[in-house]
Amino acid sequence: MASVSTLKFLICLVFCLFTSPASCQGKKNRLNKNGYQFIRKASSFTPSSSISNKRNSEGYDYIIVGGGTAGCPLAATLSEKFRVLVLERGGVPFNNPNVSFMENFHITLADTSATSASQYFVSTDGVLNARARVLGGGSSINAGFYTRASSRFIEKVGWDAKVVNESYPWVEKQIVYRPKIAPWQRAVRDGLLDVGVSPFNGYTFDHVHGTKVGGTIFDHFGRRHTAAELLASADPRNLSVLTYATVHKIVFDTRDKRPKAVGVIFKDEKGKQHEAYLRNNGQSEVIVSCGAIGTPQLLMLSGIGPKEELERLNITVVLDNPYVGKGMTDNPLNTIFVPSKRPVRQSLIETVGITDKGVYIEASSGFGQSNDSIHCHHGILSAEIGQLSTIPPQKRSAEIVQEYVKSKQEIPVEAFRGGFILSKVASPWSKGDLKLINTNVEDNPSVTFNYFNHPYDVQRCVEGIRIAAKVVHSNRFTNYTLCDRDSTATLLNLTVKANVNLVPKHVNDTKSLEQFCKDTVITIWHYHGGCHVGKVVSPDFKVLGVDRLRVVDGSTFTESPGANPQATVMMMGRYMGLKTLRERLGKTDGI
């Protein structure tokens, strides 16, 4: 039984690495299932509230598709002056302990049921991933780390630095906290400084070279505060948020030379179809905030994308744009598992080493599960299934599974008391694409990231693993773990055995760091692209070639901002809300 439990621990812990509690900086804006009347299930939507007549001038000023990391702050801001409808395909995070508590972090990722807050998908590269399916988006299922983008990123995107510096604090005052740094994180911090990732920049949101402690959206009780809580700043008289509302299509008026968005078609949790329309003026907009996977998928399903691909699936072409779904990128992550001879407190990402090698070094440790978690079948993460789908479904006989479990018995008991050092390649040069498999928006599209397709990414990964290995062998770190200085090859071999992806392993994957990088790549959820500026959207994120349609999310990015994107994506929602209000109304009424 010990080996099975250890296996469960290792596999779940690996998933805890994808993408953090103490003195509060913010308001105590706490939404819950009884809190705000503007959050309702989609089935409560009625013809009278939908303004279903296209010619009716009483439609919505803004329909936001996706109540995620960008969609929630955007909706809260726009509702200050305009009538806003938010359509979110998932439920609320407030009454779900698996989402709310840090110690249950892995549970949502392990839940592959239709009602899970995360939707599991596998890229064609063989790397397992997850999409958020809950109000608050990725901020409801991630590791909580909060850190801003670099000034270079802000300048590259072309954002107004003054408005950016207004928008970040708006988020931070409401949901961001200073972590009480865990012992494992302190040891990693000290190890990073020992090996030259300096200077130590202390606790800061800023993206600066060296080692630092960032913010977290987990409070000192270990409770998560998501982008959904930013809706507390909304004007409830102007905002309607529908959960379990799955948008199947954007509706266009194609009678003029330029198509214009007029509304959306969505289904509620009971499968009933509804229509919602914009107010009949030139400034109302449908804003898509479905993320790097959902946004290009919805644009293509609505008729905007590569003509040949759309016609292959009998989708009426509204606008032929070959760039939709192109330039998909994920920041590859590799890890070193490190056992410890002392108890290890659970921690997610709190410390980061921002190196001059183009890699970031982070850490995660421990394992937990609260008594009130929503227990579920762990699906792809269960020990009964084995190392995910490396055992094909048709071959998962009892004998094969037992053989697999037996092969894991050599994993040491110390695995219960250990953690990972993470190496993430920043701004990878390897690019992929997204394509539709079918016309069902609820199914995942085909996504290819082409991890390590470019040799420069492999080179930087090797540099990152070398730095991570030096941290593991540093005096500060070994004094904490109380472990002998195992050779790098020993640690890498242990990591390979605990690694979770569908990439075939090679006999030399612990001898060649290049092969190790390719064989053990996993995600940190920082995927982006598919709707790049200049190709799919304009610099103000309006979809090129059509009117009254905009994209506000990470699908527009050519690189992931900073060491973690969530701060910048939330800021982006607030930023675009402020810019839109000021463009329409001028700097009046304190906007």
Of residues 244 and 344, which shows the higher confidence score? Answer: 244
* Catalytic-labelled residue, pool 225, 378, 526, 528: 526
**Residue 134 annotated as lining a ligand binding site:** yes
**Residue 526 annotated as lining a ligand binding site:** yes
Going from the C-alpha of 421 to that of each of 22, 209, 418, 522, the distances in angstroms are 23, 18, 10, 13
What is the rounded distance in angstroms from the CA atom of residue 449 to the CA atom of residue 457?
13
- Band of residue 27 on the pLDDT scale cut at 50, 70, 90: very low
**Residue 506 annotated as lining a ligand binding site:** no
**Residue 311 annotated as lining a ligand binding site:** no
What is the rounded distance in angstroms from the CA atom of residue 364 to the CA atom of residue 11?
13
- The per-residue pLDDT for 1 is 34
- pLDDT higher than threshold 90 for residue 514: yes
The whole-angstrom distance between residue 225's C-alpha and the CA centroid of its chain comes to: 15
Q: Are 89 and 248 in contact (CB under 8 A)?
A: no
**Residue 89 annotated as lining a ligand binding site:** yes
% the chain with pLDDT above 90: 68
- Whether 526 is catalytic is yes
- pLDDT higher than threshold 80 for residue 523: yes
Sequence-distant (≥ 6) Cβ neighbours of residue 313 within 8 angstroms: 436, 438, 439
**Residue 119 annotated as lining a ligand binding site:** no
Quote the tokens at residue 545: 């070639």
Residue matched to tokens 């227990």: 375
Q: Count the Cβ atoms, other than its own, within 10 Å of residue 542.
A: 16
> Model confidence over 387-401: pLDDT tens digits?
333 444 445 456 655
Q: What is the mean pLDDT of residues 444-470?
A: 97
Residue type, 291: G
Check residue 37 and give left, alpha or beta (phi > 0: left; psi -120 to 50: alpha). Answer: alpha
Quote the tokens at residue 503: 């990439």
Total H helices, total E strands in the chain: 16, 24
Q: What are phi and psi of 438, to 5 degrees?
A: -150, -170
Which residue(s) pair with 216 in the sheet?
A: 145, 177
Of residues 488 and 471, which shows the higher confidence score? Answer: 471
- pLDDT higher than threshold 90 for residue 20: no
Which of 40, 546, 90, 87 lies closest to 276, judged by CA?
Answer: 87
**Residue 550 annotated as lining a ligand binding site:** no
- The per-residue pLDDT for 33 is 43
- The per-residue pLDDT for 366 is 80
The whole-angstrom distance between residue 2's C-alpha and the CA centroid of its chain comes to: 33
DSSP 164-182: HHHHHHHHHHHH-B-----
> Model confidence over 242-285: pLDDT tens digits?
999 999 999 999 999 999 999 999 999 999 999 999 999 889 99
**Residue 525 annotated as lining a ligand binding site:** yes
- The per-residue pLDDT for 400 is 58
Q: Are 280 and 55 in contact (CB under 8 A)?
A: yes
> Model confidence over 428-439: pLDDT tens digits?
999 999 999 999
Of residues 297 and 376, which shows the higher confidence score? Answer: 297
Helix (H) or strand (E) holding 463: helix 455-472
**Residue 247 annotated as lining a ligand binding site:** yes
The DSSP secondary-structure symbol of 150 reads P
- pLDDT higher than threshold 80 for residue 34: no
- Band of residue 95 on the pLDDT scale cut at 50, 70, 90: confident
- pLDDT higher than threshold 50 for residue 152: yes
Instruction: State the chain's mean pLDDT as an integer.
Output: 86
- Band of residue 578 on the pLDDT scale cut at 50, 70, 90: very high
Tell me which of 42-46, 290-294, 554-558 is least confident: 42-46
What is the rounded distance in angstroms from the CA atom of residue 148 to the CA atom of residue 205?
5
- The per-residue pLDDT for 386 is 31
What is the rounded distance in angstroms from the CA atom of residue 276 to the CA atom of residue 245?
11
Q: pTM value?
A: 0.88
What is the rounded distance in angstroms from the CA atom of residue 251 to the CA atom of residue 272?
17
